Homo-oligomer: A and B are copies of this chain.
Amino acid sequence: MIFSKTTEYAIRILTYMATDYEKLYSAKSIVDKLNIPNKYMRRIMTNLSKSNFIMSIQGRDGGYKFIKSPDNIYLAEIIDSVDGIDKYMGCVLGFNECSPKSTCAMHKSWTETKEKLYNTLSKTSLSNLIKNTIDKF
């Protein structure tokens, strides 16, 4: 799979949360619903809650909730916040070889595809994603 597990889980979690976007979700309730390793997921949540799209509420009856509408949260941002978007947008053939001066063997082929991908990721919001999702949560 192209994306890491971390990115995969982050997107699945936020997409699920976006189905009832004003609700406060406990980590437990999410883990029970989605099939994601408990502790690994907790760490992702902690990281996500340092972003500007969800926040955490500690203590009893705590959890996570959106602080920004899922209409305005795009996949590119989510990926960037958990993995760093450069992980996927870098040159295909290693070490930042690609620049206007020196281009690697796949430069031209990859550039178009990468732009298409980035374009999709930065225009697809969580709300958008829900519409296209037949997945049962």
Contact = CB atoms under 8 A, between A and B. Distances in A.
Interface of A: 1-3, 5, 8, 11-12, 15, 75, 87-88, 90-94, 97, 101-110, 112-113, 116-117, 120-121, 124, 128-130, 132-136
A109 B120 contact: yes
A70 B8 CA distance: 36
A17 to B, nearest CB: 12
Nearest to A88: B2
A121 B109 CA distance: 8
Contact of A107 (B94, B121, B133): B133
B129 A92 contact: no
* Top 7 A-B residue pairs of the complex, sorted by shortest distance between their CB atoms: A108-B132, A15-B105, A109-B124, A105-B133, A113-B117, A103-B134, A116-B116
